[in-house]
Amino acid sequence: MTELNGWAGRILNVHLTTGEIKVDSLPLEWQRKYLGGSGFASRILYDEVGPDIEAMTPENIIVVTAGPLTGTLAPSGSRCELTTKSPLTGILGRSNTGGIFGAKMKMAGYDVIIIRGKSEKPVYIWIDDETVEIRDATMLWGLDVWKTNRKICQEHKARLVDGQFLNGIGTLTIGPAGEFLSMAACVMDGHAHAAGIGGIGAVWGYKRLKGIAVRGTRGVSVARPKELLQTAKKLWKRTEKDPVYPMTFKWGTMGWVGGAYSRSHVARVFVGGSRNEPIEEKGFEPLIDGYRGCHGCALHCDHYLKVKEGKYKGTKGEGVEGFVQIYALSFRTMSAAFLAKFNNLCNQLGLNVSSVGSAVVWAMDLYRDGVITKADTDGIEVTEGNEEAILELMRKMAYREGFGDILADYPVRGAEKLGKKSERYAAHTKGQFAWVPGHGIGTTLVYTLGLNTATRGYDHLTGCISIYTKDFRPEFGITDELLIKLGQERYGDATVFMEPWDVNLNTVRAEYDQENLLYMCDMIGMCKFATQYNFPVDGVYYQDIVDLLMAVTGEPFTVEDVIEAANRVNALQHAYNAREGIRRIDDYPFFLRWKLEKGEPHPLYAEDQVKVSLENYDAVLDEWYRLRGFDLKTGIPTGAELEKLGLKDVADDLKKREILTEAV
């Protein structure tokens, strides 16, 4: 490779302790091997942050990465990736965001930003193409995300209208939640896009890093612009034919949740609690005041909402995502206006929606069952449907006030702090909370597999087969006939998407294929919603990714190349976690793990209603390990597999630490 296209070819290093700023060249072999985004970041984290480094120490690093498609005209090429050792889980911490920061960072000429050390006083990093400065952020410390963005825009003469940056800069910032080291703290891209999972915002707060603002004016070099334009047009046109397109175009992820998603994915088999009916997407229609999208995305799945009457009158901002509706089910609120308020408050305080939602659901379950009382909750009645209580708990979580200090450490440390056997109610995998305790286990066996084998803990965004299953939402075009046809065409098996509880090795194969697709997205900088993850028939798939990569980079790629790269990064992430002590037992849903460890069923699960058992889960887990080339006994990538993927140095490292064993 002589001339670089797609990749900027540069790594920006900022050391907050010493103040040193330097730019390194991206190692050339990384481009084909790891593609970009989460691929580059996983390699850097593996090399720099070993088991001897704690998350909340100056030696932990923050890695911001973009992919080769980020900032180009490739469909939904908006994404950037934030990676660190997670203070919540102690393992790989990574989160992905859309918005505009990734595109601006690429346009300023950087694929990677690495932040090391810890500042003594609050700072933010200002990047203006070649100019990079660590600036005093004393005047920003204590401000919420929206006020911080406004101040940064004033300082750098950028325009911000209704939460949208209009001329030139992008920001990543934390709010009070990050400053107070809440494990629910996310990093916000602009006003409304969040890199949320794993307490990433708390690492920024620990380092006294309020944010990064970037102005990028150099564009992204593309090898064959006409070819890229034609390919992008062709893909958008094809996507428009997909049965799900009208739903996504109008409702975004809200369409997933209203109706069947809520009923099937959020099965209520835990602690006997009831849930109300979902607020279907139509409930938000009176609030919709326009649509919003990330860089380069014609889908604009995001909505701008305005509450025009009632007690939340005046609330306006971007959202609500499907996640929020899931919490509405568990909070037992039917108010779309409240959810708009809840969503905005998360964005302003820099709180991750699902971290807050899962912690509050935990508190509600504990309160309902008398495990905790007002004496534990600073006098707040944590009853279902109590909207004021939810908003107050959120504020306390952000500032670590009183009971909020426990919620801020949900699930594992929070339950330890609270005691009272509250860990029984804290559903998590590898320390990462489940959305709500019953999520996923009402869906399909392989959906459960994907959620629990993911490298950042419980995760629906890297380890999951398409959410579409039998009885999903036929009114949105996901009919049983369609699913039968897709199963037949793709796997020669009509039941792949139709028999969610059978042990069917073809479904594990489908899950593995989908997982690779999601890995590719995070590596190249593309939004998953543009792919077959969301558009089951006509969405972007492997060959399209190859076409886009070749047009953007000018490099020859094949489908085999990108699958191998996805496998490589997946194995590298699992190797990272193995080095931190993660083993097969950590890949089970928490109620099965309980059974394995304690020899008895989880006391709060209605076993007769749970279709996931040790027997059927072990069968699919074994098959998934086989496909991935992992050792069945330990759940760790084998040495042979790592070497096959060009990760001999990783295999050697694990051998030296006596972590690798022979394949079973």
Which residues are at the interface with ligand SF4 (CB under 6 A)? 76, 78, 98, 293-294, 297, 299-302, 527, 529
- In the complex, what is the shortest distance from the CB of residue 304 to ligand SF4, in angstroms, rounded to a whole number? 12
* Residue 249 vs 557, nearer CB to ligand SF4: 249
Instruction: Write out the E strands in 409-490.
Output: 428-429, 432-433
Residue 79 carries which side chain, given as an amino acid letter? R
- The total of other beta-carbon atoms located within 10 Å of residue 482's CB is 17
Distance CA 590, CA 303 (A): 35
- In the complex, what is the shortest distance from the CB of residue 291 to ligand SF4, in angstroms, rounded to a whole number? 9
Distance CA 163, CA 143 (A): 16
From residue 286, alpha-carbon distances to 273, 290, 306, 321, 555 in Å are: 30, 11, 9, 16, 48
Q: Roughly what angle, to the nearest 10 degrees, separates helices 559-579 and 648-656? A: 20
* Residue 143 vs 235, nearer CB to ligand SF4: 235
- In the complex, what is the shortest distance from the CB of residue 551 to ligand SF4, in angstroms, rounded to a whole number? 19
Task: Output the CA angle 24-30-31, nearest 5 degrees.
Answer: 100
* Residue 78 vs 358, nearer CB to ligand SF4: 78
* Residue 60 vs 253, nearer CB to ligand SF4: 253
CB 177 within 8 A of CB 184: yes
* Residue 294 vs 663, nearer CB to ligand SF4: 294
* Residue 319 vs 442, nearer CB to ligand SF4: 319
CB 445 within 8 A of CB 496: no
- In the complex, what is the shortest distance from the CB of residue 494 to ligand SF4, in angstroms, rounded to a whole number? 30
- The total of other beta-carbon atoms located within 10 Å of residue 327's CB is 23
Distance CA 402, CA 451 (A): 32
Q: Is the peptide bond before 320 cis (omega within 30 degrees of 0)?
A: yes
- In the complex, what is the shortest distance from the CB of residue 99 to ligand SF4, in angstroms, rounded to a whole number? 7
* Residue 97 vs 573, nearer CB to ligand SF4: 97
567: DSSP letter: H
CB 462 within 8 A of CB 455: yes
- In the complex, what is the shortest distance from the CB of residue 98 to ligand SF4, in angstroms, rounded to a whole number? 4
- The total of other beta-carbon atoms located within 10 Å of residue 529's CB is 23
Q: Is the peptide bond before 176 cis (omega within 30 degrees of 0)?
A: no
- In the complex, what is the shortest distance from the CB of residue 301 to ligand SF4, in angstroms, rounded to a whole number? 3
Residue 531 in tokens: 């792919």
- In the complex, what is the shortest distance from the CB of residue 341 to ligand SF4, in angstroms, rounded to a whole number? 22
* Residue 186 vs 209, nearer CB to ligand SF4: 186
- In the complex, what is the shortest distance from the CB of residue 527 to ligand SF4, in angstroms, rounded to a whole number? 3
Distance CA 349, CA 335 (A): 21
At 220, which helix (H) or strand (E)?
none
Residues 6+ apart with CB under 8 A from 503: 445, 616, 619, 620
CB 575 within 8 A of CB 654: yes
Distance CA 612, CA 601 (A): 12
CB 519 within 8 A of CB 569: yes
Residue 240 carries which side chain, given as an amino acid letter? E
Length of the chain in terms of residues written:
664
* Residue 193 vs 396, nearer CB to ligand SF4: 193
* Residue 96 vs 333, nearer CB to ligand SF4: 96
- In the complex, what is the shortest distance from the CB of residue 64 to ligand SF4, in angstroms, rounded to a whole number? 17
- In the complex, what is the shortest distance from the CB of residue 248 to ligand SF4, in angstroms, rounded to a whole number? 8
* Residue 356 vs 527, nearer CB to ligand SF4: 527
- In the complex, what is the shortest distance from the CB of residue 136 to ligand SF4, in angstroms, rounded to a whole number? 32
- The total of other beta-carbon atoms located within 10 Å of residue 600's CB is 8
Task: Specify the residue for token string 């691929």.
Answer: 39
- In the complex, what is the shortest distance from the CB of residue 333 to ligand SF4, in angstroms, rounded to a whole number? 25
From residue 233, alpha-carbon distances to 70, 73, 88, 535 in Å are: 17, 10, 41, 16
- In the complex, what is the shortest distance from the CB of residue 156 to ligand SF4, in angstroms, rounded to a whole number? 24
* Residue 266 vs 297, nearer CB to ligand SF4: 297
Distance CA 495, CA 386 (A): 43
* Residue 237 vs 313, nearer CB to ligand SF4: 237
* Residue 76 vs 452, nearer CB to ligand SF4: 76
- In the complex, what is the shortest distance from the CB of residue 297 to ligand SF4, in angstroms, rounded to a whole number? 3
Residue 520 carries which side chain, given as an amino acid letter? M
Task: Specify the residue for token string 């209605």.
Answer: 606
Q: What's the count of helices (H) and strands (E) in the chain, helices before strands?
A: 24, 19
Relative to beta strand 21-25, strand 10-15 is antiparallel
* Residue 299 vs 363, nearer CB to ligand SF4: 299
